[in-house]
Amino acid sequence: MNKKCTKYEGLFIFADEATLEQHIKECPDCRAEHEKMQKVSALLQEVKPVYMQKYARMAQLKIACAVCAMLLSGTVLGLINFNTDISDTIRYGTTLSAEDLGLPVDSYGLILVE
């Protein structure tokens, strides 16, 4: 029984390029493993642009969503703060009148000027 060489992974990770190349020239098992790795590497290089483009689009989408959320929330909060009827309804459940605010009013609910 011929034992299969298991040095390829260790040399690939820890050894320098010259040592790996020398071992690949001498060992048929490691040469076959190296050829498989080269095929896998070629496939990865082939699909890399597709995935990079996908991640770039995803990043652009996230940025666009964040900008839209900021614009929408800023607009809504601005409308609520500048329109006192809406903010009073949200805070107190009803629109506050001048009488509710403690101002002197006449029988029509208008502010009384003395």
94/100 Cα distance (integer angstroms) = 11
Q: What average pLDDT does range 26-51 have in this prediction? A: 91
Percent of the chain with pLDDT over 90: 39
CA distances from 22 to 19, 57, 98 (A): 5, 43, 93
Percentages (nearest 5) of helix, strand, coil residues in the chain: 70, 0, 25
pLDDT of residue 42: 93
Is residue 35's pLDDT more than 80? Answer: yes
Q: Mapping DSSP to helix (H, G, I), strand (E, B) and coil, where does residue 86 land?
A: helix
Average pLDDT over all residues of the chain: 87
**What pTM was estimated for this model as a whole?**
0.47
Highest mean pLDDT among 2-11, 31-40, 101-110: 31-40
Highest mean pLDDT among 18-22, 24-28, 51-55, 58-62: 58-62
17 contacts: CB under 8 Å, gap ≥ 6: none
Is residue 1's pLDDT more than 50? Answer: no
87/95 Cα distance (integer angstroms) = 8
